[in-house]
C-alpha cells in the first residue's frame, strides 16, 4: 500500500484552524494549573509541536513511545512501552496528546499507567478520532476531527514510517487489511 500522493482528507489550513481553537480551549481550561503535555511518539510529534506553541500557559512537555503496530496497518493489540516519560507528574495536570484514536486500546492503557502515578488529572487530546473503530470506552476531552474508517497518513501519521512529513492528512488507497487501528 503505497502511493506518491495520498488523497487529501484534511488540509493544512483546516488542521491549523482547529488546532488553534483547541489551544484556546486548553489555555482557558488549564489557566492557573500545573500542566504537563505528554506526546505519544512518533505520530503525535507534529500535532504536539503546533498545539503547544499556541497554548498560552507555562507548561512542561514530555514524550512516551509505544508500539502496537510494527509495520502492519492493524494493531497487534499488545502495547509495548518503548520510551517512558522522564518528568514527575504526581500532583500535576496531564494532557495526553495523540495523533489518532482508533480502537482506544493504546490510550486506555497509557491513561491508566499515568493515573497510577498520582497526577491531579489525566485528559486526552487527539487530532483525529475514528469512533467507528472503537473497541473500548474512552473519553477524548479535546478532539480535532472525526474521520472515516480509512487508513490515514500525514501530519505525523505514517504507513511503515513513510508520509509523516506531509503537511496535511491524506487517505491511502484501500487495500486488504488497510483499516488501521490502535
In the predicted structure, residue 81 carries a pLDDT above the cut 80: yes
Q: What is the pLDDT of residues 101-120, one digit of tens each?
A: 999 998 999 999 999 999 99
Q: Hey, what's the cell of 98? A: 495523540
Q: 102 an active-site residue? A: yes
Task: Indicate whether this model's pTM tops 0.75.
Answer: yes
DSSP codes, 2-63? --SSPEEEE-HHHHHHHHHHHHHHHHHHHTTS-EEEEEEETTTHHHHHHHHHH--S-EEEEE
User: Catalytic residue among 102, 132, 146, 158, which?
Assistant: 102
Q: What is the pLDDT of residues 1-42, one digit of tens each?
A: 456 789 999 999 999 999 999 999 999 999 999 999 999 999
Long-range contacts of 109-116 (CB under 8 A, 24+ apart): 109/79, 110/40, 110/64, 110/66, 110/79, 111/138, 113/81, 114/38, 114/85, 114/89
Per-residue pLDDT tens over the stretch 146-169 = 999 899 999 999 999 999 999 999
pLDDT at 141: 98
What fold is seen in the domain 7-168?
Rossmann fold (3.40.50)
Quick check: 137 and 111 in contact, CB under 8 A? no
Amino acid at each position: 500500500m503505497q502511493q506518491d500522493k495520498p488523497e487529501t482528507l484534511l488540509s493544512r489550513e483546516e488542521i491549523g484552524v482547529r488546532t488553534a481553537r483547541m489551544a484556546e480551549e486548553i489555555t482557558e481550561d488549564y489557566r492557573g494549573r500545573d500542566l504537563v503535555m505528554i506526546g505519544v511518539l512518533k505520530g503525535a510529534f507534529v500535532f504536539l509541536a503546533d498545539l503547544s506553541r499556541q497554548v498560552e500557559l507555562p507548561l512542561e512537555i514530555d514524550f512516551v513511545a509505544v508500539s502496537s503496530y510494527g509495520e502492519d496497518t492493524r494493531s497487534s493489540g499488545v502495547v509495548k512501552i518503548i520510551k517512558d516519560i522522564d518528568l514527575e507528574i504526581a500532583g500535576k495536570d496531564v494532557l495526553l496528546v495523540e495523533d489518532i484514536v482508533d480502537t482506544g486500546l493504546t490510550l486506555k492503557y497509557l491513561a491508566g499507567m499515568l493515573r497510577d502515578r498520582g497526577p491531579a488529572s489525566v485528559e486526552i487530546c487527539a487530532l483525529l478520532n475514528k469512533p467507528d473503530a472503537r473497541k473500548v470506552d474512552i473519553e477524548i476531552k479535546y478532539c480535532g476531527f472525526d474521520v472515516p474508517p480509512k487508513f490515514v497518513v500525514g501530519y505525523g501519521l505514517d504507513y511503515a514510517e513513510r508520509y509523516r512529513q506531509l503537511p496535511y492528512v491524506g487517505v491511502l488507497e484501500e487495500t486488504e487489511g488497510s483499516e488501521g487501528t490502535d
